[in-house]
Structure 1
Amino acid sequence: MNLTTELELPVILPGVSRDDSCVQRLVAGLQDMEGVSRVHIREGSDEALGTLCIHYDPEIVSLQRVREVAASVGIELGDRYGHLFLELGSAVHARKARTIAAQVQAVPGVIEATTSPAGGISIEYERAKTGEAELRAKLEALGVAQEPPSPRGDLKDQHEGHDHKDRQDPGHSHGGTLGGNSELIFSLACGLLLIVGFAIEKLGLTQTPWIPTAFYVAAYVFGGWFTLGEAIGNIKLKRFEIDTLMLVAAAGAAALGAWAEGALLLFLFSLGHALEHYAMGRAKRAIEALAKLAPETARVLRNGQVVEVQVESLIPGDVVVVRPNDRMPADGFVIKGASSVDQAPVTGESIPVDKLAVNDAALARDRPDSVVMESRVFAGTINGSGALEVEVTRRSGESALARVVKMVSEAETRKSPTQRFTDKFERVFVPAVLILAVLLLFSWIVIDEPFRDSFYRAMAVLVAASPCALAIATPSAVLAGIARAARGGVLIKGGAPLEELGMVRAIAFDKTGTLTEGKPRITDIKVMQGTTEQELLHVAVAVEALSDHPLAAAIVRDGNTRLGDGPVMVATDLANFAGRGVQAKVNGIDVWIGKAEMFGNDGIGALSAGAESAIEELRNAGRTTMAVRLGDRDLGVIGLMDTPRPEAREALDKLRRLGIQRMIMISGDHQTVAQAVATDVGLNEAWGNLMPDDKVKAIRQLKETERVAMVGDGVNDAPAMASASVGIAMGA
């Protein structure tokens, strides 16, 4: 009989991604153990990096021995292999980044080096052969600035000597006389010169044959300027790419007198690379925008005084003061005060969450991960109307927001199987074609023919062997698809996402702001006997008009719409019961509006049976409830919910008709709320209570069986979108 034990990967391999090759080495090492029948990775319930599942026979090997061996193998792997992720500080374009990765991978001991579109480099190496210091020195020798992933992405120190305006890109390149758009300008100049030369030649605007040729030669210079430099660097590294073949093919076309065709080829390739560079800049700015959700400074209590410090200097145990409407500077728990906190940027919850102080600060300090959500706060979330004192539990680089940034950055460095195959194919195909061309160049020695004929044949084979049809047809098809999508309001980053979209068979949707409008609305009103809806709304609107809570704003907005024009009641003497509700006076009579938990405590009478029944019914339907009491009489209950977009159901029906076989909602909201919205829009599956790392696990689970797209609109969705086959950002 086999038993199963589960071990958390972060415990065995600290700091190693679930997709890292060390995990596969761990699995392989344990699989060979006597008495172990199967080892695999299962998504963990608490950790973003998953769980190791070991099936073993207790009659052959004990549980203690299995755990000892797993720990031993993990320590051995940790001692043998190192992992380093750095951000390339300068605005390095995509081809340069690939060349840098190739040069780093050539360092003895480096197993793999990959780069992301956002300018990050991920390196796996053997500690016995090289180390972090040597790798950093190598990057410095290559003229590349590097830095650890920043929790904020604040680049102001990288650009001393001038200021950036609010709308400037802090990650821009200072190199080159034409700035960061040099490659795009050169590409457009190549295209313009090509068009002019072609027009002169075909329209017979001159009798001098060398004039159109001069324009073609100039187009060659502009189109091949950047590619030539990269090709020379790659050849020195014995690295062959299609670009190298394209350059040689363009030279061959010129040798055959086909100047226009060669210039067209260089224009298409240079334009493609320029757009790739632009997309890389967009990716860098997107990740920087994620990091900048956290504030730069925090107000810390030191010796009874409030001192403003940089968030990077915060350490666990510091107490920060968070003023109303400020962003949380760090992860932690509330030790004093009460407020509602908008967690949508991190968790995706559509309605602000009420936060209260912990009952036992010492226990929370010893076990910060066990603190209830009602007292936990996250960096980057937005405080409501109450002041809070928060004890920091993680440094800025270890916060939930920093983990989101890191997950996105690392996900973009992972190559797909298709990318890996293409890289291997290029390394074999390009030199093979070049060698064949050289052999044909000397065929006149074997065949009795002039050297001119052998040269012509070698050039013809070189041009024919180059993937010119793909080089021309593929960019044209991609550009046509991207342009058509843009006219419909969809911006596609390039050909790879476009290709992946055609193979997607499952789509995961975020709830808040994607399938819903992103703001609460009144959906239900349950009135008690002897009360009218108008009376309840008049009282509720009058009281909530004095409050700045998001739910109060929803009640006032929708309540006024339902009431229409007419006399308005006036409330006075507002008092807040933080996290529970409010009290005020209307016409001298006390009014209470709040959660069910507010009633029956602190001298406030309990709710009637009818009101409690209405609250239970609405909560089961996924509504947020607010009970309304006037004097000693319960007027009724208001149900609020982030309502679905009117067009959501129709859009999902169209996707089904297009062949999408499975659609799932994944949300940070409560399961009942997520299920209620899913039912409204026609989805059968809804997964709620998901933090950003939980969404990543959900996407990986879906990817095990099919290609999946992730649709979202918030920071909390970014890691899941980066992990999906295709990420789709609403309103980006």
Structure 2
Amino acid sequence: MSQMENEKQTACCSSNKQSSIIPVSTPDSSVDGGTKESSSMLEYKVDGMDCPSCAATIEKALKKKEGVQSVQVHYATGKMTVGAEYDSVYDDIPKHVRKLGFDTEPLEKDKHKETYKVEGMDCGSCAKTIEKHISSVPDVQDVQVNFSTGKMQIHHSTSPENIMQEVQKAGFDASLDNGSKDAEKENTQKKPLSTTTLSGIFLMFGFAGSFTALPAFLITALYAAAIAAGGYKPAKSAFYAVKTGSLDMNVLMASAAIGATLIGEWFEGAMVVWLFALGNTLQNRSMERTRTSIRNLMALAPDEAVVLSGGQQVRKAVEEVGVGDVLVVKPGQKIPLDGEVVTGSSSINQAPITGESLPVDKREGHTVYAGTINESGSLEIKVTKLVQDTTIAGIIHLVEEAQEKKAPTEAFIDRFAAVYTPIVFALAVSVMIFPPLLGPGAWGGWLYKGLALLVVACPCALVISTPVAIVSAIGNAAKSGVLIKGGTFLEKAGVIESIAFDKTGTLTEGKPKVAEVLALHGSEEELITAARTIEEHSTHPIAQAVTAYAAKRGIPAKQGSHFQSVAGKGAKASIDHVEYFAGSPAWFQEMGVSLEENAGQHIQTMQEEGSTLVVVGTRSHVLGIIAVRDTIRDMTVQSIQALKKAGISETAMLTGDNRGTAKRIAEKTGVDRSFDELLPADKVSAVHSLQREGKRVAMVGDGINDAPALASADLGIAMGGAGTDTAMETADIVLMADNLEQLPRTIRLSRKALSIIKQNIWFSLLTKAAALVLIFPGFLTLWMAVLSDTGAALLVILNSMRLLKS
């Protein structure tokens, strides 16, 4: 792979990681007037760069800004380091970068950074209106509004009340998002505004009155009341949109409604306003269901915990429980916080966290997670993480971050909409002015067609076609124990053709187990007894595998003495005054102890199957042979078959085993091909080899040892994320369970998401094209244009919501 491709892969892996600010010290100096220069450089995360030239563009633009001393933008890591003459310059950097078409924020955790929930946004253009308006507030350093999640991230030095007032000025409602369940309950209890209903009542009376003897002025007054009731909020939002230079849906609809009244089409104007308000209400309710799909994860963990205190069981709010406290969790109850079992044993349903279909047995020393369900025995659990640091809290945080990141398709559509809307707006104005001036047709008819074009100019359905589908899919995956770290990786997963698996710990258990026992002299029990007596004093993984095998079968050890480990060979001990050995076949050959003739064939067969052999015997004869090897996971074969059914054309295994062993494991797991005798660094070369064959490759590993290969692949997938924070930070997709059970489902979900996104885009474009064609012959009325726009947006949302239940 070329250096540029390597950089691109690294960027994909690193641009979505959270890092701490790294101050780079520079010599202190002063300028005239005694104002001290900035003594450090600030590091920023930059999103949206798709090639190194983007980095060069940002560098050149920022170097021209007053007060900026140095700029270094690293495309490979998605980071930017800025050195400024004064500290105040840093506050304006995000605004300058956003003008260039990229998103950036300081990696420093700013104490003034807050998150707000914003209600009333109908599409991405509303988010841009809020962004532009809030950016004009002097005390705001940076603001980002995400329509998909309904949230606003803001750096400011004023009060939250002022921020909420400014959002209200723009025609929307905002509330501080503190992540609490109480806040969620309050939001669900809020009643929607009744302006839509009021507008509909006035419209209905006006329309009914047109069939009676009601005076014309009274009918007009009813239509005017319908326009005023339903159009107040859109008109307010339109005012601030125009003020900040935005051309959003509210501007277009308000213009259409006002234009309709000016040419005497009061019914059309009232119908436009009411349909627009009704469509927004339905869209908001549908979007809220999508946005709350991930918030429902918060309800998994209980609000209270039973804590052992002074021998008594005391009920406390989870926020009051500290690390080290001991909880009591009875059968059938949910575990309130992450912790370690100190007393008891039970089966735990971990499906809410990992997506595993079967309960997992837990006993003393095992880790348990908040939100999982204790199915059988009573447990005492020592808390290891506070409520804000639990695994479920980490999942929610990572998923919400992922939902806010734009996918390539979404970014392209936003750029398309930014060009499409002004062009159609200009066309609408031209239709209103030039045809009447040039002669054909009256002013009224062309003004009406121009107003219909204004409505068609709004690309609402197109703009939301991608983000709603991505939010739905990522939320659905999270509920099944899969973290997809952004729309980019969701799209990549949908087009993956080949998947490479690390063998150890991914396809196999990663822990050696006794696979076969061959007794040559005496019984199998005598062989295991001698082996356990020697090996239980060793910490070697193979020795522990033998000891565990004996313990599971209730075979005890004998009284031994003179225990000794021999590096590279094995271990020995005296049993009943006889020296016994447990080690490699080569060790016994060195001692001149011959194996039986028929044992040689067994040894060769077991070694070809990838077993490590433990020969047990004395200096005069061999008791038998114990074969220890890494066993294939129960879910591996089933998962590989399911991946092929999901459309994966090729699977590969990467292993350090010899060719014969690798071939046999590949055959047993159902993997199509294997790369054997690999050193850790060779895994990257194997991934590149698959890519050179023209395949889009995903790499599946544990997220730690396989980090280089995960970064080199088109898509990095780590498994076992519930056990390690590192795995959750390393890869593009994280399987929280320590098996491949959810991987086929993730591939299917990603492909369905891509299919739905394509459906949404084509439906939106065809609806707009049909509307444009029908306007000029006069078939499309103004209210029909509104209905086609809001209806298309609603259908796109509903289509995307199918991903919530896939």
Q: What is the TM-score when the length of structure 1 is the normalising length?
A: 0.50
Instruction: For residues 448-490 of structure 1, give each alpha carbon's deviation from its aligned partner in whole angstroms, at most 9, with x where no partner exists.
Output: 3899998886675455345422333434434444444445443
Q: Is the aligned partner of 1:709 residue 2:688?
A: no
Letter in 2 for 1:509: F
Shift of 1:444: 4.2
Aligned pairs (5 A) from 1:61-460: 89-90=43-44, 103-104=58-59, 106=61, 120-121=78-79, 143=93, 172-178=109-115, 186=151, 196-197=191-192, 201-202=196-197, 248-256=248-256, 257=273, 258=276, 419=408, 430-431=418-419, 433-438=421-426, 440-441=428-429, 443-448=431-436, 460=452
Report the equivalent of 2:595: 608
SS in 2 for 1:655: helix
Instruction: For residues 303-351 of structure 1, give each alpha carbon's deviation from its aligned partner in whole angstroms, at most 9, with x where no partner exists.
Output: xxxxxxxxxxxxxxxxxxxxxxxxxxxxxxxxxxxxxxxxxxxxxxxxx
Report the equivalent of 1:554: 545
Report the equivalent of 2:687: 699
Shift of 1:554: 0.9
Shift of 1:540: 0.7
RMSD: 5.6
Partner Cα separation in structure 2 for residue 194 and residue 431 of structure 1: 40
Shift of 1:101: 7.6
SS in 2 for 1:447: helix
Question: Contact conserved, 1:250 with 1:263, CA < 8 A, in 2?
Answer: no
Letter in 1 for 2:489: P
Partner Cα separation in structure 1 for residue 697 and residue 49 of structure 2: 28
Letter in 2 for 1:176: K
Partner Cα separation in structure 1 for residue 50 and residue 713 of structure 2: 26
Question: Contact conserved, 1:196 with 1:215, CA < 8 A, in 2?
Answer: no
Partner Cα separation in structure 2 for residue 214 and residue 675 of structure 1: 71
Q: Which has the larger radius of gyration?
A: 2
Q: What is the TM-score when the length of structure 2 is the normalising length?
A: 0.46
SS in 1 for 2:532: helix
Among 536, 547, 554, which residue is 2:527 paired with?
A: 536
Letter in 2 for 1:584: A
Question: Contact conserved, 1:268 with 1:472, CA < 8 A, in 2?
Answer: no
Matched pairs, number: 460
Partner Cα separation in structure 1 for residue 561 and residue 473 of structure 2: 60
Aligned CA distance change for structure 1 residues 122 and 447 (closer, same or farther; 3 Å): same
Report the equivalent of 2:120: none
Q: Is the aligned partner of 1:515 residue 2:507?
A: yes
Among 639, 650, 664, which residue is 2:627 paired with?
A: 639
Partner Cα separation in structure 1 for residue 277 and residue 49 of structure 2: 26
Instruction: For residues 234-269 of structure 1, give each alpha carbon's deviation from its aligned partner in whole angstroms, at most 9, with x where no partner exists.
Output: x9xxxxxxxx7xx63343235444356579889999
Q: Is the aligned partner of 1:689 residue 2:644?
A: no
Letter in 2 for 1:551: I
Letter in 2 for 1:573: H
Question: Contact conserved, 1:621 with 1:673, CA < 8 A, in 2?
Answer: yes
Partner Cα separation in structure 1 for residue 661 and residue 51 of structure 2: 44
Shift of 1:652: 1.9
Question: Contact conserved, 1:506 with 1:663, CA < 8 A, in 2?
Answer: yes
Report the equivalent of 1:724: 713
Aligned pairs (5 A) from 1:542-621: 542-561=533-552, 564-565=553-554, 567-600=556-589, 604-608=591-595, 610=597, 614-621=602-609
Give unmatched runs, 5+ long, in structure 2: 9-40, 65-69, 95-104, 117-142, 153-171, 176-186, 203-224, 257-272, 295-401, 722-806
Instruction: For residues 468-524 of structure 1, give each alpha carbon's deviation from its aligned partner in whole angstroms, at most 9, with x where no partner exists.
Output: 223334344344444444454434334443444343332222222222122111112
Aligned CA distance change for structure 1 residues 202 and 519 (closer, same or farther; 3 Å): farther
Report the equivalent of 1:83: none
Report the equivalent of 1:402: none
Partner Cα separation in structure 1 for residue 615 and residue 46 of structure 2: 57
Question: Contact conserved, 2:527 with 2:616, CA < 8 A, in 1?
Answer: yes
Partner Cα separation in structure 2 for residue 627 and residue 271 of structure 1: 63
Question: Contact conserved, 2:525 with 2:555, CA < 8 A, in 1?
Answer: no
Partner Cα separation in structure 2 for residue 120 and residue 143 of structure 1: 16
Aligned CA distance change for structure 1 residues 424 and 684 (closer, same or farther; 3 Å): closer
Report the equivalent of 2:374: none
Question: Contact conserved, 2:499 with 2:700, CA < 8 A, in 1?
Answer: yes
SS in 2 for 1:438: helix
Partner Cα separation in structure 2 for residue 88 and residue 583 of structure 1: 60
Letter in 2 for 1:533: E
SS in 1 for 2:435: coil
Instruction: For residues 656-683 of structure 1, give each alpha carbon's deviation from its aligned partner in whole angstroms, at most 9, with x where no partner exists.
Output: 3333322111234454443332222122
Partner Cα separation in structure 2 for residue 717 and residue 458 of structure 1: 60
Aligned CA distance change for structure 1 residues 186 and 709 (closer, same or farther; 3 Å): closer
Report the equivalent of 1:680: 668
Question: Contact conserved, 2:663 with 2:674, CA < 8 A, in 1?
Answer: yes
Question: Contact conserved, 1:675 with 1:686, CA < 8 A, in 2?
Answer: yes
Letter in 2 for 1:712: G
Partner Cα separation in structure 2 for residue 211 and residue 193 of structure 1: 24
Shift of 1:618: 1.9
**180-189 vs 648-657, which moves further:** 180-189
Report sequence identity in percent.
26
Partner Cα separation in structure 2 for residue 608 and residue 186 of structure 1: 72
Partner Cα separation in structure 2 for residue 88 and residue 525 of structure 1: 62
Partner Cα separation in structure 2 for residue 589 and residue 267 of structure 1: 80
